[in-house]
A and B are shown apart, each in its own frame.
Chain A
Amino acid sequence: MGRYVVRRVIQAIPVILGATFLIYALVFLLPGDPIQALAGERRADPTVVAMLHNRYHLDDPFFLQYWHYLVGLFQGDFGEDYRGNAVVDVMTRAFPYTINLALTALVIEMVVGVVAGVIAALRRGRFIDNLVLISTLMVISIPTFVIGFVLQLLLGVKLHTDYGIDFFPVSFNEDAGFRAYLLPAYVLASTSLAYIARLTRTSLIEVMRADYVRTAVAKGLSPLRVVVRHGLRNALIPIVTFLGMDLGSLMGGAVITEGIFNIPGIGHQLFQSVYLRERTIVVGVVSALVLVYLFTNLVVDLLYAVLDPRIRYE
């Protein structure tokens, strides 16, 4: 088990390096001069441009530039953006928002998705099952930004203007505390929630047909115990995998949601940085997201062994 973890951590190193290289190259390939982008529409002063080019090694060949970045990275220095802000500061400012948002979304999709899936599975073929199936299909087919804007309009604006209930802030508002995250988290979670409801339903229907569930019934256990202890306990294994993988997607996928609700999180930052060709920030943020992916994947794999005793890591 310990050796397994060590092996997985070692395996993560080339993945991270590869990711930084790819992102660095992609941003490098973007047309336009980043220093000119700083100046916007105005002509930038050529001497300033030359100075900044020199400072950020922008005239060096690509591999040399990447090498400079890597050397910094290994010394724990993520570099600075073209305005002189340390990338670490930019990230530590933005990440808490995104983590709050993603975790809230994860809880919402887990609770609502699993409950909806269980109800649908146990009432298979009935009205409630069809309701879950059709509504989840709709959520899956509608793009997130549509759901986002519609809910923002209905719950953020209309609920306030028409009914006088000011519960969901239209735009992110730090004073509203946890409440501010609810609506955006729901929007962010919506697609995954639909998948989880469907996955839970399928998985539980499958498990409830298993021999050991029949045994549980034959033992004279209560229906609740049969479903929860013997059914759901087994049906949850694929769902835990999905949830673990999804935490990474939720953080990386927050770009649109953070844009709609104006949340100053990592997605927001990423979008701006790509726009401004802020290479160091883009690479830093994406690498951090890759780390999150790798970490949650490892946790899921370890959790597997806890959930299913037949799995052992040597």
Chain B
Amino acid sequence: MSLLQVEGLEMHFPVRGGLLNRVVAHVHAVNGVSFEVQRGEILGVVGESGCGKSTLGKCLVRLNTPSGGAFRYDGVDYTHADHEELMDYRSRVQMVFQDPYSSLNPRLTIRDCLTEVILFHRPHEAEVRDVDEMVLELVQKVGLRADAVDKYPHEFSGGQRQRIGIARALACNPEFLIADEPVSALDVSIQAQVLNLLMDLKDEFGLTLIFISHDLKVIEHFCDRVLVMYLGNVVEELECETLHESAQHPYTRALLGANPINHPRERRELTVLEGDVPSPFDLPPGCAFAGRCPIAEPRCSESRPPLEEKRSGHRAACFLVE
């Protein structure tokens, strides 16, 4: 059985306005997303800004309560779980955020920050073991020096802070990590260090990961499978190993075509999409991508293509993909 099952997940944010501050519209941030994650795999989520990938991540740790659909973790439905149940859930599923500076408390030393998590989520273990020792172990696991524990977040560089963010997520000994753009704010040489660290920790702790990024190159390198999102919908799901050959959805093809190249020898005309992204307030009835799609047909703007299995392990939401 899959570790995480997501079915028709929706997240609509109300927009208030007018004299009486009534709800005047909804932003359709996530619009009926379904997928499964198997134990031990790394699932990538890729898409451009505003496609709902971060909201999806936040729904899955219940920082947002989904407005529709459901998700089950290890067979248990946590979509509307109460506070007690969430405590247990969040000690198993943790999140790493994009900006490691704003997600760390500037007034806590690294020791205080990690001790808090350990005492809260692993109280029984903390009774029999020396908490300081556990903190030190974590800090060294993420590749920081032992003297880092008594420093404050501002004393570290961006890459080091992201390591602390990862250490904090690992402090409650989770099984599942949702990483939201964990390397996007980092320089390339530091990005490689953090990606390698995540890979090592995944093996060591037997983690399952959802890795959210806008960078297809990073996803391709790091993940097993990828969900491509466009305007709140998954438009394609496929294996990363054969991403270039098997990507079928015109949006995925456009992303691949717009991605910068590895070597000047591969120079080509970059794919340029015409038109603008439709407003998430007022979604078109048909395929959300139809307005910019180079191969769209009239039926594309009439009804929304379902996300169908095209071949084993490959789903696409497009009428024109065989």
A binds B: no
